[in-house]
């Protein structure tokens, strides 16, 4: 049985695959994530960029995260779909956007960041990790999701 997962942008100009189980997901409710997803929050899965096989040429948009660190945002230059973020360019570790997976219906976040910025009316499972902002070492927290 294959663990191959696939996804990509809305128009299909950028596609990716990876051959491992889908890592645990988290949701972020910060203003930046709400803006980039055009929704109430964004769901991501942390993974090594080297695990992705990418076809097409994503574009890069550089921003400053709330932490003050540089964030590199990769997206389709044709349709604008945000695909993944990285703290480095070229990317090493990325946070892949769950909505870009071809099959994401069964993915449930195991944690929520920036719930202090959560959209009213969004109810969270009280059994799931929740942070008013984010853990002091968010990279370590992401690396231990679901363990």
pLDDT on residue 1: 41
CA dist 75 and 59 (Å) reads 5
Weakly modelled stretches of the chain, pLDDT under 70: 1-2, 66, 146-147
pLDDT on residue 146: 67
Domain count, the chain: 1
Phi-psi map region of 56: left, alpha, beta (phi>0 left; psi -120 to 50 alpha) = left
Structural domain for 63, as ranges: 4-143
pLDDT on residue 30: 87
- This model's pTM is above 0.85: yes
pLDDT on residue 137: 84
CATH number, domain at 59?
A: 3.90.1590.10
Hey, how many other C-beta atoms are within 10 angstroms of the C-beta on 33?
25
């Amino acid at each position: 049985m294959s663990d191959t997962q696939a996804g990509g942008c809305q128009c299909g100009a950028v596609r990716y695959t990876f051959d491992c189980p889908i890592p645990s997901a988290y949701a972020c409710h910060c203003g930046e994530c709400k803006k980039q997803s055009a929704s109430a929050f964004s769901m991501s899965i942390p993974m090594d960029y080297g695990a992705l096989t990418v076809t097409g040429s994503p574009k890069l948009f550089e921003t400053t995260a709330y932490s003050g660190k540089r964030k590199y945002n990769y997206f389709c230059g044709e349709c604008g779909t945000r695909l993944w973020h990285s703290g480095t360019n070229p990317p090493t570790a990325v946070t892949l956007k769950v909505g870009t997976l071809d099959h994401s219906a069964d993915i449930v976040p195991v944690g929520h960041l920036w719930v202090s910025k959560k959209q009213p009316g969004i109810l969270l499972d009280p059994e799931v990790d929740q942070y008013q902002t984010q853990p002091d070492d968010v990279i370590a927290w992401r690396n231990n999701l679901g363990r």
